[in-house]
Amino acid sequence: MDNVLIDSNDIWSRADRAMIESQGKKFKPGLVHRLIGSTEKAVAEIFQQEYSLSLSLKEISKRRLRLVFKLYRAKLKYMPYALWTLKTLKQQGYRLTLATSSESNIVAQVKKKLPEFFKYFEFILTGDQQKRSKPHPDIYLNMLKRLKLSPKECIIVEDSKNGILAGKRAGVRVIGLKTKCIPAKYLKPADYQINNLRQLPKLLHDL
């Protein structure tokens, strides 16, 4: 969802920097790629360890989300071609689902701001519904089970190292979406790569 369908990684980075600096610590931009595709609990654990925070995991997440939701209300928008791509794929008969590391309360906030794209999905799986977060394959294995499809019958679009590894470990082909937030080297494990979502329908047609 984040940085694939909604343009939110800059929002998360701004919130993370503000939260860390409020604790008198220096923000480490190099950590960003480790955070993308992780659940709130996993991110809080990384913050607690990397910044030696005395805050509890629950308090870290609470403060982080308070900042994120404020920015969501002011700045959240779709990624380029997101709605067009979803509509096109749906018209072409593809079954679409959303498997996001974001937790249910985050998805609810996104839905308040950008409700249009949710109608295209058969169902949504969130990070708090899984035993393990990406890069573990749990969310995609549960997606396959619910769809009643084999890995060969599905394909995943991801932008992050954690997400790509999760898809590959589930045995599913992965399309890596190039973005400004993730270094290109982290997309190398993907089976295919695209520069933007507008290229997705043609790629799927040609496979």
Domains and CATH numbers, the chain: 6-75 (1.10.150.240), 80-206 (3.40.50.1000)
pLDDT of 152 reads 97
pLDDT of 40 reads 85
* DSSP string over the chain: -BTTTEE-HHHHHHHHHHHHHTTT----GGGHHHHTT--HHHHHHHHHHHTT--S-HHHHHHHHHHHHHHHHHHH-EEPTTHHHHHHHHHHTT----EE-SS-HHHHHHHHHH--GGGGG-S-EE-GGGSSS-TTSSHHHHHHHHHHT--GGG-EEEE-SHHHHHHHHHTT-EEEEEP-SSS-GGGGTTSSEEESSGGGHHHHHHH-
Closest CA to 178 of 162, 192, 161, 195: 195
The per-residue pLDDT string of the chain (207 residues; one tens digit each, 9 = 90 and over) reads: 888 999 987 899 899 999 999 999 999 988 877 777 678 888 899 999 999 999 999 999 999 999 999 999 999 999 999 999 999 999 999 999 999 999 999 999 999 999 999 999 999 999 999 999 889 999 999 999 999 999 999 999 999 889 999 999 999 999 999 988 777 888 999 999 999 999 999 999 999
pLDDT of 192 reads 97
pLDDT of 9 reads 79
For the entire predicted model, the pTM comes to 0.87
pLDDT of 121 reads 97
Distance (Å, whole) CA 41 – CA 67:
16
pLDDT of 124 reads 97
